Every structure is written in structure tokens, then in C-alpha cells.
Amino acid sequence: MKEVFQGFDAPDLLVGLGAPDDAAVWRLDDDRALVVTTDFFTPVVDDPYDYGAIAAANSLSDVYAMGGVPFLALNVAALPPDLPPEISAEILRGGAEKAREAGVVVAGGHTVQDKEPKFGLIALGFVDPRRAFTKAGLKVGDALVLTKPLGFGVTTTALKQDKVRPEDLAEVVGWMKRLNVGAAELGRTFEVRGATDVTGFSLLGHAQEMAAASGVQVRIAFEAVPLTAGATHYARQYIFPGGAHDNRAHFGPQVTFEGQFEDWEQLLLFDPQTSGGLLLGVAADRLGAFMAQAQADGQAAWVVGGVEAGSGVRVARDQVG
């Protein structure tokens, strides 16, 4: 394996394991590269259709996070042998309909038996290799824009603990099912170079990855970070998934909190997200036009911070600029 990963000369592999990103990128010619990614996970909600749709939106998100346009996918499924066939069918239907919404053809796939269900897609897309978004593309002076709120981890954990309020769950399911297609389109229009999607490593974890890859410092303004309606309700009760604590243990040493923060406020920024939004570095002189276009498109977008010289992540209560 070592030979293949470290010694294999693959000049057309533009993004691979050398500098891990949201997806691998393989150059086809000067104008086109293939974006390849896969993701699958255990159910985050009880409804099988919603689960399939969320898993598909999440899998396609890594193509959007590279600035790509997905076109083809395969199902990856592990299903318990005693799962009623109508439930399995609903999971796959949720995935297929979400793929269709994205203009993606699901051309096949593979299913194995397993005790706990798992579902996702292998997704392929195209990107202009000169215009791909990477985690290394942030520039000092960029504004950081986030396109979905935080609070998915605490809310789905509240569901697992039978403590969720139905309206909070409905809100979060709606966000998790939403494709990042519009956010990626905006990023291409305004020539974004630095981007990722906020998923399991949390806002601060993914921000730290981008800061390290780009050789910059990321600044986050806590009061500017959008939260779902129930996020603080569950965070105050410490209804966090284990991953929030793992993220803080792993990424915390590179994060500085300036000013007064409650412990649960800090932990909320480490909350793992499923099918979260894109985090985009937008050039300061294009930010006004970017936000105006987002509003015109009905695309959610919040300026949550910026990029400056240095390293790591610093979080203040306010001061976006």
C-alpha cells in the first residue's frame, strides 16, 4: 500500500491523499477534471426516506465542496437481513430522488448485509481544474461565508435520547436534506478558491483544517454564526454527540477563545454536522455582490468570520470585520 500511495507517479491526480480534501480530483484534460468521492453512515433520523435523502445530499456535498457539478452516482448500502423490504426501498427511494433533484443519475451500486443499516453514494462530478475549490485556497482578507446553520448534531442526539422537540427536528431535517448545489454555483460565479463542507469535524475542526492547509489564521465571530432554533436549548443541557467532545479534544489546542464564553457555547462550535453547509472564502471586494446574489437566489448565506495572517483559529464573540 505504501508503494501505491507514496511512490506511485500520478501527474493527473490533482488532489489525492497527499493533501486530503473533500474529494479526489483527476485531470482528464486542460479544461476538465473528474471529482470522485464517497460517504455513507448509519441512520441519523427515524424516517427511512429522509435518511436516504440526507445521506445522498451529504455524499454529493463533497463534490459541491470542490466546486464541482455531480452527474453520476452509485449506491453503497448495508442493510440488516430482517429489515422489512419496504423500509429498504424507502431508503433507496430517498437517495434516488435526492440524486435526481441534483441532476445525478444513480447507475447502480452494491448492497451487503449488516446488523446496522448504512447508506450513501459514490459520487462523480466534473470540475474545471483551474477553478476547483480546495481547503488550501483561503487568502488573507477573504470573508468566510457559511451556508447552513449549526445545530444538527445536538438536535439528532436529542432525537436519539427522546428529548427532541418536533419542530426542531423538522427544521434540522429540512437543512440536512438540502443540496449544497446553490452554494457551489455562487462560489463558482464569484471565483471562490477556498472551500469545504462543514460535516463531522464541526465548524471549528473544518476551519482549522482550512487554516492549516492555506497557511492562514481563521477568525470566527460567535454571534454571527447561525444556529438552528433548538441548538442552544440542547447545548445548554449538554445533549451533545460524543463527536463534539472528540472534536474539541483534537482541534481545541489550535483554537483560541477570546473573551467570555460558556463551556456549552464553545462545545456547540465543535458539534459534528451531518450534511452541513459550505464554508467559503469570498474575496472582500466581491463579498457585497456575493451576498446580494445569494439573497436573490434564495440561497442562505451568513458571514461568520474572516481570514488573516497567522495560524489556527481564533473565536471572538463579535467583530466579523
Binding site for Co ion (CB under 5 A): 22, 39, 62, 65, 197
Closest distance to Co ion from the beta carbon of 201 (Å): 9
Rounded CA-CA distance 236/267 in Å is 10
Closest residue to Co ion, based on beta-carbon distance: 22
Cβ nearer to Co ion, comparing 133 with 257 = 133
Quote the least distance from Cβ 59 to Co ion, whole Å.
Answer: 8
Shortest separation between residue 197's beta carbon and Co ion, angstroms = 4
Between 158 and 186, CB nearer to Co ion: 186
In terms of CB distance, is 122 or 239 closer to Co ion? Answer: 122
Between residues 213 and 235, which has the closer beta carbon with respect to Co ion?
Answer: 213
Buried b (16+ CB within 10 A) or exposed e, 163-188: ebeeebbebbbebbbbbbbbbbbbbb
CA nearest to 195, candidates 243, 152, 130, 142: 142
CA 318 to chain centre: 24
Radius of gyration of the CA atoms of the chain, in A: 19
Distance of closest approach, residue 46 Cβ to Co ion, in angstroms: 23
142 vs 197, beta carbon nearer Co ion: 197
User: CA 32, CA 10: separation in Å to the nearest integer?
Assistant: 16
Is residue 38 within 8 A of residue 122, CB to CB? The reply is yes
Q: Cα separation of 170 and 147, whole Å?
A: 18
SS3 letters for 226-243?
CECCCHHHHHHCCCCCHH
Nearest residue (CB) to Co ion, 33 versus 121? 121
103: burial class by Cβ within 10 Å (0-12, 13-18, 19+)?
exposed
